[in-house]
Structure 1
Amino acid sequence: MKSDHNPVLEAALKIKLLLVDDEPEFLETLEKHLRRRKINTSVAEGCKVALDILEEQAIDVIVMDVSMPEIDGLQCLKKVKEKWPLIEVVILTGHASVKSGIEGMQGGAFDYCIKPIETQELVEKIELAGQKALINKQKADAES
């Protein structure tokens, strides 16, 4: 007897997401939209706070702005990928600059989006990144 058990779908619903941006209003608004869709969301104002959170919590997916003071999103992506290579990162760029999105992809980002972005489009990218993060973990577990 076959069951409807789909571990990838279930994992997508259990994604632990971290939003990283230097605009508190944007973070608050996006966090509310994502929580309404049952996505477990944490927020960080900037890369330094994000790195502290990553030391404390298991995170599957990060949605990160490129343009931030002190440590920009591309530098932060590099730090994340060096220390937590299984985390998938979606880069947000508000500059209508495809260049920084492509640089992010070359630096290991899962995908990029141009702000402003529709919540549904972002949720779809988060779910795909979450599925990839699950596959990354399963491969790592199988290899260990």
Structure 2
Amino acid sequence: MKIRLLIVDDEKDFTDSLAERLEFRDFDVSKAYSGEEAVGMVKEYNYDVVILDVAMPGMDGVQTLREIKNLKPLTEVIMLTGHATVETAIEGMKLGAYDYLLKPTEIDDLVTKVQAAYSRKAEQEERIRKAKMMRYFESPRAVLEDKEDP
């Protein structure tokens, strides 16, 4: 199964070019050109990893990250920017960003980060699945134990 990506950047040429390069590497890629558009798409679809520009007009990357994490906490977000500040990076990481990369970034570095972010998401989903299964299997046991006590 292909990793589902959403690229969010107001620079259309950059976004289209990056999407093309990632599709060539066998990712399932969607694009949004604003934070507002990205939030709407995240409400509608499940993405594994979002590649998100920090500096966008309207809803900026940090606001968009906050909304994405509220909607889909397990979706991993990699922040991209050409105007990095330590404060923005720290804020993004506090809000749950997986990582923070400077533009322009090497495509191989980005692919490595995307794969690592996807692995973390898959591990979290597996832990949740196991916890739900344990709760299911413990439930009948608890019922039986309650019946045995007078």
TM-score when scaled to structure 1? Answer: 0.87
Matches for 1:1-144 after TM superposition, within 5 Å: 14-144=2-132
Count of residue pairs brought into register by the alignment = 132
Structure 1 segments of 4+ aligned residues over 4 angstroms from their partners: none
- Matches of 2:41 and 2:110, distance apart in 1: 22
Q: Which runs of 5+ in 1 are unaligned?
A: 1-12
Whether the 8 Å contact between 1:20 and 1:63 is mirrored in structure 2 is yes
Q: SS at the partner of 1:67?
A: coil
Give the structure 2 partner of residue 5 of structure 1: none
TM-score when scaled to structure 2? Answer: 0.83
- Matches of 1:116 and 1:143, distance apart in 2: 40
- Matches of 2:91 and 2:84, distance apart in 1: 14
- Matches of 1:36 and 1:98, distance apart in 2: 33
- Matches of 2:118 and 2:95, distance apart in 1: 18
Identity fraction in percent: 39
Which of the pair has more CA radius of gyration? 2
Q: Which runs of 5+ in 2 are unaligned?
A: 133-150
Q: SS at the partner of 1:22?
A: coil
- Matches of 1:90 and 1:143, distance apart in 2: 27
Structure with the higher fraction of residues in helix conformation: 2
- Matches of 1:57 and 1:85, distance apart in 2: 14
